[in-house]
Chains A and B, each alone.
Chain A
Amino acid sequence: MRLLEVGNVSKSFGNLHALDGVTLDVESKTLTILIGPNGSGKTTLINVISGFYRPDEGNVMFQGRQITGLPPHKIYKLGIARTFQIPTLFWKLTVLENLLVAEKNNPGESFLRSLLKRSWENSEGSAAGKAFKILELVGLSAVWDKPAYNLSGGQMKLLEIARCLMTDAKLLLLDEPISGVNPTLAHEIFSRLIKLRDELGITFFVVEHRLDIALSYVDHIIAMALGNVIASGQPEQVINDPKVIEAYLGG
């Protein structure tokens, strides 16, 4: 089943065609990765899907529903969560708080109900329970009450992913989750993604360069160059595609 369908999406910045008619599908419950040389438009595509950029043309469908042009917070509520290439944490919040912020439809967030502790105490308790489970899963429970700015680079990446898992999102868009992370931890991250895919049925659409690490975990690869999709399919097939080799060598 197709979870995400991107149809003929274009996005320009002045004269620069960052996305030039991109069409691709992401199948449900897969780990699909998006590769491509620097500047080929991968982050721009993530920004379009998650609602940060409005495409000039084309549309994005999620679970068969048009989501083109919806603001990020609405897209999040439909079940798409994302991380950023450069860690964007809530720096002064603790690790646990970073997760709790991501809780969806929190009654204690309303200006009136926030004053009535009784109206949100229980949901806050269960959110905390869920958060601790996720922290165990990504191996951050030892630092649960540290402020985010105190974490190491790898822990920051993990926290970004952990935050997305709070949401019960069906689709996670991860922008270079293992860049700057040592190989051991990078493998650990990917094996956890696989586990989440299998146990919770989460679909991953991951921008990643480091094929040496990612390759053994992926179901599907999509390759971009200069704002276009140049190949898509099984891992072996895509990495041996002459157009892909050309893009990397010539780029």
Chain B
Amino acid sequence: MALPELVFFGIDIVKFLIDFANLFGLFLAISLTLNLEYGYTGIPNFGKVLYVAAGAVVAGSISLRIAAWVYSIDTRGDLIANSARVVNQANALIKNDSFFAVGIVLLTLVIAALIGAVFGYLSSYPAIKLREDYLGMLLLAVAQFFQIFLRGYEPLIGGTQGISGVPNPYAYWSDLGTGVKDLVSTLVIAAFAILVYLYVERIARSPLGRTLRAIRDNENASRALGKDDVAVRKRVLVVASAISGMAGALLTFNVLSVGADTWTRITYTFWPWMIVIIGGAGNNVGVALGAFIFTALLKGLAQVKFFFQPYIPVDVNWFQYIVFASLLITILMVRPEGILREKPSATLPRSKLQTIFGSSELRDTQIAPKKEVDKA
């Protein structure tokens, strides 16, 4: 069995859909963590790429080392230089090793989540001390620093060259036909994105979600009403960063390579920010819509951008930036809250609230005349 090849206007539809789903799933999950941080809690995380990259690095460096170790593959003393050979041998062995295939994905996800969480925990220290705008700048700088470090420090993932290949855990499914292992990778990403959505939405619809919004709206009032805002923000950063790390790991297993320049602050900081702002901060449906619009535009523009080359005065590869920037500015002007607005936390259905309202006994009409209060 092989995945069907449906060519339509010169585009391989199946491949297009798989790419689309990968991109959408990963950006959805990452943007949702940013929504948890920024949309609900008001933490301006301008260093999102840091946590995604941490997870991606974990997946690249760990899976390669574990594969070499488990299968006793000769690295000739330099794992990075010989990574291509190690990966080839490993992939051949993974084909018959379901335990390794599943195990390496799970293990990597756990470690990526842990490393992400540690990074999140560490960044929560400045997050407590600094004012919002300074915090944003600091996180931006730290993420940039991490990238520069990875460029210079080759033993981990081979610096700017990257490692030419990462063992493909989904190679186990490659006997089922061409493209099936890619489909498995996509299904894993889709399942992950759905779980992240359900998780963030659960929180959003709980008293916790309401408290996050309260802390965001007014940190002092939240303290006066018994919230330990510092501890809450810390936990949000840890949780969001752990999820971002997992997304990074799945990214590495999907593109099967990793290097210091695989990602930039544009890909995993600015795009998620744009998705959240366009879709609607504090609204998960909005963020999903934003991620969809973003993916559709990115993939769509990639198909048609050369058509525009004669008409635009700059290199066509910059075209997407022009389009996204125009979209962002338009949304900020026309609908500053994003396409879908924030809604109340809806912990209980409105009908239930009305029942409770109707049955509240203390109808104190003498002392509390229903007068319109002043417009001071």
Contact = CB atoms under 8 A, between A and B. Distances in A.
Interface string B335-369: 00000001011011000110011011111100111
Nearest to B373: A154
Interface of A: 50, 52, 71-73, 76-77, 81-82, 84, 88-94, 96-98, 100-104, 106-111, 114-115, 117, 120-121, 124-125, 128-129, 132-133, 136-139, 141-142, 144-145, 152-155, 157-158, 163, 167, 180-182, 184-185, 188, 191-192, 195
B71 interface: no
Given A52-B220, A152-B374, A152-B375, A110 B208 contact: yes
B218 A91 contact: yes
B41 to A, nearest CB: 12
A133 B347 contact: no
Name the interface size band of chain B. Answer: 35 or more
A97 B344 contact: yes
B206 A120 contact: yes
User: Which 6 pairs of residues, A with B, have the shortest CB-CB distance?
Assistant: A153-B376, A108-B207, A114-B206, A114-B208, A76-B226, A154-B373
B302 to A, nearest CB: 37
B373 A90 contact: no
B227 interface: yes
A233 B353 CA distance: 46
B232 to A, nearest CB: 8
Interface of B: 199, 202-203, 206-211, 213-214, 217-218, 220-229, 235, 239, 282, 342, 344-345, 347-348, 352-353, 356-357, 359-364, 367-371, 373-376
A43 to B, nearest CB: 13
Nearest to A111: B235
B374 A90 contact: no
Contact of A185 (B202, B356, B364, B374): B374
Given A108-B347, A139-B373, A181-B376, A96 B221 contact: no
Given A154-B375, A163-B225, A129 B210 contact: no
A185 B210 contact: no
A163 to B, nearest CB: 7
Given A72-B224, A97-B344, A115-B202, A137 B208 contact: no
Given A100-B347, A108-B347, 17 more contacts: A72-B224, A73-B226, A73-B229, A76-B225, A77-B226, A90-B218, A97-B210, A100-B207, A101-B222, A109-B207, A111-B235, A114-B209, A120-B206, A121-B348, A136-B364, A137-B368, A185-B374
A155 B373 contact: yes
Contacts of B376: 152-154, 157, 180-182
Contact of A84 (B224, B342, B344, B369): B224
Contacts of A107: 207
Nearest to B202: A115
Nearest to B371: A139
B278 to A, nearest CB: 19
B269 to A, nearest CB: 25
Contacts of B356: 125, 128-129, 132
A133 B225 contact: no
A110 B232 CA distance: 9
B226 A93 contact: no
Contact of A139 (B199, B348, B361, B368): B368
B228 A71 contact: yes
A169 to B, nearest CB: 10
Contacts of B373: 139, 152, 154-155, 158, 185
Given A114-B208, A124-B207, A125-B356, A139 B370 contact: yes
B220 A84 contact: yes
Nearest to B367: A195
A108 B206 contact: yes
A80 B232 CA distance: 21
A115 B203 contact: yes
Contacts of A153: 374-376
Contact of B227 (A73, A98, A136, A141): A73
B237 to A, nearest CB: 12
A98 B221 CA distance: 10
A74 B224 CA distance: 9
A132 B363 CA distance: 10
Contacts of B362: 133, 136-137
Nearest to A92: B217
Nearest to A121: B348
Contact of A101 (B211, B228, B361): B211
16 contacts: A52-B220, A73-B227, A89-B217, A93-B213, A100-B207, A108-B208, A115-B202, A128-B356, A133-B362, A136-B362, A136-B368, A137-B367, A138-B368, A139-B371, A144-B357, A154-B374
Contacts of B211: 101, 106, 109
A90 B221 contact: yes
A137 B202 CA distance: 32
Given A81-B225, A114-B207, A139-B371, A128 B348 contact: yes
A155 B228 CA distance: 27
Contacts of A145: 344
A184 B228 CA distance: 37
Contacts of A185: 373-374
Contacts of A104: 226
